[in-house]
Structures are given as structure tokens and as C-alpha cells.
């Protein structure tokens, strides 16, 4: 039990290791795949795919389709807002030396996903698809920003284009045979290749689970991952609360 508690304090805590970064990134990649797929099946929008949304806005500004332009612009704006919210929460926590400087963001993401999963089916607004796109893009922006912060911009859980590009680069290094004497060899990074393959695979697997789950259970499909995110982030926040109580004059 003590080891579980120590692990939960570190997986989303401020003292990072490469192993913890990969473990958290794996969870977030799976989460991104599920949310992205649920968003597409429910409202026909890939809410983690800013390249696609930007291209869609540009195309439909020329070809016509104001609804798609509005949806795309909303998705891009809320993705940016999510990344900005992550930066505000993270820097607020870092300035106060909180253990939950990363966990704060994960808790907010988990609560948004939890509320989305519980309330989306009951949401009867005529333009509810726009609200769904806004919530999902905001969430994706937050989680992509927090793993970027945590890993020093080495890992992004929604940017599959970049990850697949890096996989191609590493495979090219593996395939390259240097025949020039006196020059340093081209050295591939098998660990990086393995991590990238894992994250792409989890994003893909999350997409499959999200599509199947939505068709079977609707928006409730996202609830288990929201609870897992809460569990991963709860321990650092609880440690901050205990520290605040000890320091409080009335505590």
C-alpha cells in the first residue's frame, strides 16, 4: 500500500523521471484517442487534430460552408485556450512550489471529461455540437500542453503526425549503413522509437475503444478514463492540502 501511495505521489508529481513521463504520456495518449474518436463519432469533428481543423477552415472559406468554418475556428480557439489555461495553472502552482503543479491541470481535465460524460446525453441545446467541440478541444489543448511541459517538449500525446514523422526518422537511422570511413556512425535511438510506437499505438487503440464504446454506451464511455486521471492526480493535490493545513494558523 505504501508503494502504491508513493507511486501516485510521483506519477503526476513535480519530481520527474523519464519512466514516469512515459507512463503518464501513455495514459494521456490513450485518453486522447478515446476523446478524439468519441468527438468524431458524435459530432463529426476530430478534436485533437488542429492541422485538419485549420485546413478545413481554409478550404470551406473558399468552397462555402459557414457551419464548418465556425466549428473549426471554435475548435482551434478553444484548443489554444486549453493550452493557455494549462500554462496559467502550472505557473501558479510552480510559483507556490506546489506538488500539484502538474496534477492541478490533470484534475481540471478529468473533471471536465467527467462532467462531459455525465451531462452530454442530457444536453438539449440546438447547437450542442459546438459546445461538445469546445469542451473536447479545450481538454485536448490542456493535456497536450501539460505533457509538453512535463517532458520538456519531448512528448506530445495528440500530435500523431509529429510522432509518426519521428518514427520514420528513427527507422531511417536504423536502415542507414555508413560506408564512409572516418565519419561518426549514424546512431538510432531504439528507446525513443519504442516510446513513439507505444504512444501512437495507444492513441490508435483509444480511438478504437472510443468508437466502439460510444456506439455501445454513448458519452459515458469517457467516464472510466476521467476517474483514472483523477486517481493519478489526487495524491499530489492531497499532499498540498495537508501542507497548507499544517501551515495555517487555525490548522
Residue 143 placed within a domain: yes
Q: How far apart are CA 118 and CA 245, in angstroms?
A: 32
Short-list 163, 149, 156, CA closest to 193: 163
Residue 90 placed within a domain: yes
**pTM (2 decimals)?**
0.87
Mean pLDDT of 109-136: 89
| pLDDT band for position 212 (cuts 50, 70, 90) | very high
Residue 83 placed within a domain: yes
pLDDT at residue 249, as a whole number: 62
42 lies in which domain range? 2-154+206-240
Residue 98 placed within a domain: yes
Query: What pLDDT digit, counting tens, does each position of 77-110 carry?
Result: 999 999 999 999 999 988 888 888 888 899 999 9
Q: Is the pLDDT of residue 250 over 60?
A: no
Residue 164 placed within a domain: no
Query: What pLDDT digit, counting tens, does each position of 51-67 carry?
Result: 888 998 999 899 888 88
Residue 163 placed within a domain: no
Residue 197 placed within a domain: no
Residue 172 placed within a domain: no
Residues in the chain: 251
Mean pLDDT of 178-182: 73
Higher confidence at residue 151 or residue 211?
Answer: 211
Q: Total structural domains in the chain?
A: 1
The full DSSP string for 49-73 is -HHHHHHHHHHHHHH--HHHHHHHH
Query: What pLDDT digit, counting tens, does each position of 130-176 carry?
Result: 999 999 999 999 988 888 887 776 677 777 888 899 999 999 988 88
pLDDT at residue 74, as a whole number: 94
Query: What pLDDT digit, counting tens, does each position of 13-62 carry?
Result: 777 778 888 888 899 999 999 999 999 998 888 888 888 889 989 998 99
In 3-state terms the chain splits into helix, strand, coil percentages (rounded to 5) of 80, 0, 20
Q: How far apart are CA 42 and CA 129, in angstroms?
A: 8
Eight-class DSSP state of 184:
P
Q: How far apart are CA 196 and CA 191, in angstroms?
A: 9
Mean pLDDT of 207-232: 93
Amino acid at each position: 500500500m505504501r508503494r502504491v501511495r508513493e507511486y501516485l505521489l510521483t506519477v503526476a508529481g513535480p519530481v520527474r523521471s523519464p519512466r514516469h513521463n512515459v507512463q503518464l504520456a501513455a495514459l494521456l495518449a490513450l485518453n486522447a484517442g478515446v476523446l478524439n474518436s468519441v468527438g468524431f463519432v458524435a459530432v463529426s469533428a476530430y478534436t485533437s487534430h488542429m492541422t485538419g481543423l485549420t485546413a478545413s477552415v481554409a478550404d470551406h472559406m473558399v468552397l462555402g460552408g459557414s457551419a464548418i468554418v465556425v466549428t473549426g475556428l471554435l475548435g482551434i480557439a478553444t484548443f489554444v485556450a486549453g493550452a493557455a489555461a494549462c500554462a496559467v495553472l502550472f505557473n501558479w502552482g510552480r510559483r507556490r512550489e506546489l506538488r500539484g503543479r502538474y496534477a492541478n491541470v490533470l484534475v481540471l481535465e478529468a473533471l471536465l471529461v467527467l462532467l462531459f460524460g455525465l451531462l452530454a446525453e442530457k444536453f438539449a441545446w440546438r447547437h450542442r455540437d459546438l459546445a461538445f467541440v469546445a469542451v473536447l478541444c479545450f481538454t485536448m489543448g490542456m493535456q497536450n500542453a501539460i505533457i509538453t511541459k512535463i517532458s520538456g517538449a519531448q512528448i506530445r500525446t495528440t500530435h500523431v503526425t509529429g510522432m509518426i514523422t519521428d518514427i520514420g526518422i528513427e527507422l531511417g537511422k536504423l536502415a542507414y549503413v555508413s560506408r564512409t570511413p572516418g565519419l561518426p556512425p549514424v546512431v538510432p535511438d531504439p528507446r525513443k522509437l519504442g516510446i513513439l510506437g507505444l504512444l501512437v499505438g495507444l492513441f490508435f487503440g483509444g480511438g478504437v475503444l472510443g468508437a466502439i464504446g460510444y456506439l455501445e454506451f454513448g458519452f459515458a464511455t469517457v467516464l472510466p478514463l476521467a476517474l483514472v486521471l483523477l486517481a493519478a492526480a489526487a495524491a499530489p493535490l492531497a499532499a498540498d492540502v495537508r501542507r497548507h493545513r499544517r501551515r495555517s494558523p487555525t490548522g
